[in-house]
Structure 1
């Protein structure tokens, strides 16, 4: 009799087939206050991290962009301005609640015509080969069950020469910063989650999922193994966040 495959959900080991549902429950719970919590958790610095991602994307007029785990649409909004009416932005997220919040928010901001919304699993992207000039995934890869499968899926739908940008929490570069970050993540973050969203457990999971995510060098090697070329990463805020970039050969 074969052993049941497990994966991590934060610090817990759960059956592989259960992880997506558990992650979905987390984001259904926090979707309505997601942006407010992002501002509170990062002191607004997440906006600078995202701006740097856009600068490194090389996206310009007429491009097709896929924003995976795009949630409430921060990056999609900026990309829709860059690609213009000739381009296309696909805001994709596996979570229906996050997608609904993102779609409504972008509609309220007047985005229309060059943006479509797609409920999609990063591991099995429902798009033809060689479709996009750029793919971004911001703070979403750590929630994917099979990251290698997702990276190969992203490579498939990128055009040759297209870029993938992965913005994700990573490993702080100094021991002192690492200790301070741990205290913040495991004590203050769940407390803020309880206060703002009445959900401490979801934010405890998010803190744990960050610790279980591959560090900078490991993720770079995963991208190379998936078939990406010219892979590099940029540490921000002392390595608390890293932006990885790779190109489809």
Structure 2
């Protein structure tokens, strides 16, 4: 890259300047924030609740722990963690997008979840937390929207306590060709139309489908986590690999 030339990255299938991606992603989530929960239920036929429940079970949070729910959006995981860690623990709901953070804060407060939850607007690539701070970090359906995923993984590893656990729940690559074909048809033909009907925004959901295809597959992400300093990294495929839960530890 010559001097003065901007670094490039992907925004869905488009190539954009890396320093512009965060703003483009922000526009998507500003647009969909108000009906994000409804669309999740409709798009996944409610299966996203199973994926998130499996993540909570795998996290094995205990009373007194400190949890970071990164790219936590509307707070589904935060609500569960808040009850598990109790009054002596804490949960930080962090998201780069202020619209999503506001929706999450309002939803959790409406549920009476106040005491042990804090809200931070933060970029995953440079987390504003001390070293060795959290027992558990989760990032659910957020990593694919990060511009520099390697930097984000290093940042997460830094703020984990020794013995801490990182869980990444993200769309991935189906294991079987038939599932891949059905998934592609559904993602590119059906989901944007749902987005148009429910949020009056087909373009944002077309981007979300494209961003899934550009995200690293299971083994690539596993190696990226290892390169970031995490250990005992493995993953579990869910729904034939449409989604995968990666986990790694800091020692």
User: Which position in structure 1 is the counterpart of 2:53?
Assistant: 51
**Secondary structure at the counterpart of residue 72 of structure 2:** coil
Q: What is the rounded CA distance, in whole Å, between the counterparts of 2:116 and 2:70 in structure 1?
A: 16
Q: What is the rounded CA distance, in whole Å, between the counterparts of 1:4 and 1:228 in structure 2?
A: 30
User: Which position in structure 2 is the counterpart of 1:97?
Assistant: 99
Moved over 4 A (4+): none
CA deviation profile, 1:146-199 (whole Å, cap 9, x unmatched): 000000000000000000000000000000000000000000010000000000
Q: What is the rounded CA distance, in whole Å, between the counterparts of 2:114 and 2:187 in structure 1?
A: 37
1:58 is displaced (CA, Å) by 1.9
Residue number among 167, 178, 181 corresponding to 2:180 in the alignment: 178
User: Which position in structure 2 is the counterpart of 1:238?
Assistant: 240
Q: Which blocks of at least 5 consecutive residues in structure 2 are unaligned?
A: none
Q: What is the rounded CA distance, in whole Å, between the counterparts of 1:237 and 1:72 in structure 2?
A: 23
Q: How does 1:186-201 map to 2 (within 5 A)?
A: 186-201=188-203
User: Which position in structure 2 is the counterpart of 1:22?
Assistant: 24
Residue number among 117, 120, 123 corresponding to 2:122 in the alignment: 120
RMSD: 0.5
**Are residue 143 (structure 1) and residue 145 (structure 2) matched?**
yes
User: Which position in structure 1 is the counterpart of 2:231?
Assistant: 229
Q: What is the rounded CA distance, in whole Å, between the counterparts of 2:18 and 2:54 in structure 1?
A: 34
Q: How many residues align?
A: 249
Q: What is the rounded CA distance, in whole Å, between the counterparts of 1:81 and 1:210 in structure 2?
A: 31
Q: What is the rounded CA distance, in whole Å, between the counterparts of 1:39 and 1:187 in structure 2?
A: 18
TM-score where L is the length of structure 1: 0.99
TM-score where L is the length of structure 2: 0.99
Residue number among 212, 215, 224 corresponding to 2:214 in the alignment: 212
**Secondary structure at the counterpart of residue 39 of structure 1:** helix
CA deviation profile, 1:101-125 (whole Å, cap 9, x unmatched): 0000000000011000000000010
